[in-house]
Copies of this chain bind each other. A is one copy, B any other.
Amino acid sequence: MHVAEILKRPLTVVSAAPNVAGMRVLIADDHDLVREALASFLKSEGVAEIVTVPTLDDAIRAADESGSFDLVLLDYNMPGMNGLEGLGRMLAANDRRPVAILSGNVSKAIAEQAIRAGAAGFVPKTMSSRSMVSAVRFMAAGEVYAPFNILQQADTASGNLSQRETDVLRGLCEGKSNKEIARSLDLQEVTIKLHVKTLSRKLNAKNRTHAAMIARELNLI
Chain A residues close to B by CB (< 8 Å): 30-34, 36-38, 40-41, 54, 77, 104, 125-129, 132, 172-177, 205-214, 216
Q: Complex: how many Å from CA A176 to CA B210?
A: 8
Least Cβ–Cβ distance between A35 and chain B, in angstroms:
9
For A106, the closest partner residue in chain B by CB is B30
Contact sample, A vs B, 29 pairs, CB 8 Å cutoff = A31-B104, A31-B125, A32-B126, A33-B34, A33-B38, A33-B126, A33-B127, A33-B129, A33-B132, A34-B125, A36-B37, A36-B41, A36-B129, A104-B104, A172-B209, A175-B205, A175-B206, A175-B211, A175-B213, A175-B214, A176-B206, A177-B206, A177-B207, A208-B209, A209-B212, A212-B212, A212-B213, A213-B216, A216-B216
Closest chain B CB from A213 CB (angstroms): 6
Q: Given B38, B127, B173, which contacts A213 in the complex, CB threshold below 8 Å? A: B173
Provide the residues of chain B in CB contact with A126, threshold 8 Å: 30-33, 54
Chain B residue at minimal CB-CB distance from A33? B125
CA–CA, A157 and B215, complex, Å: 23
In this complex, what residue of B is CB-closest to A36? B129
Q: How far is the CB of A178 from chain B (nearest CB, A)?
A: 11
Distance of A38 Cα from B34 Cα, bound (Å): 9
In the assembled complex, how far is the CB of residue A82 from the closest CB belonging to chain B, in whole angstroms?
Answer: 12
Least Cβ–Cβ distance between A56 and chain B, in angstroms: 15
Which of A77, A126, A205 has the most C-beta atoms of chain B within 10 angstroms of its own C-beta? A126
| Closest B residue to A37 using CB positions | B37
Question: Which one of A33, A36, A132, A211 has the highest number of Cβ atoms from chain B below 10 Å of its Cβ?
Answer: A33
A77 / chain B contacts, CB cutoff of 8 Å: 104
Closest CB in chain B relative to A177 CB, distance in Å: 7
Minimal Cβ-Cβ distance residue in B for A217? B216
Closest to A132 in B: B33
A216 CB to nearest chain B CB (Å): 6
In the complex, what residues of B have CB within 8 A of residue A30's CB? 126
Give the distance to chain B from A143, nearest Cβ to Cβ, in Å. 21
Give the distance in Å from the alpha carbon of A128 to the alpha carbon of B176 in the complex: 39
Q: Which of B33, B36, B129, B209 contacts A32 (CB 8 A)?
A: B129
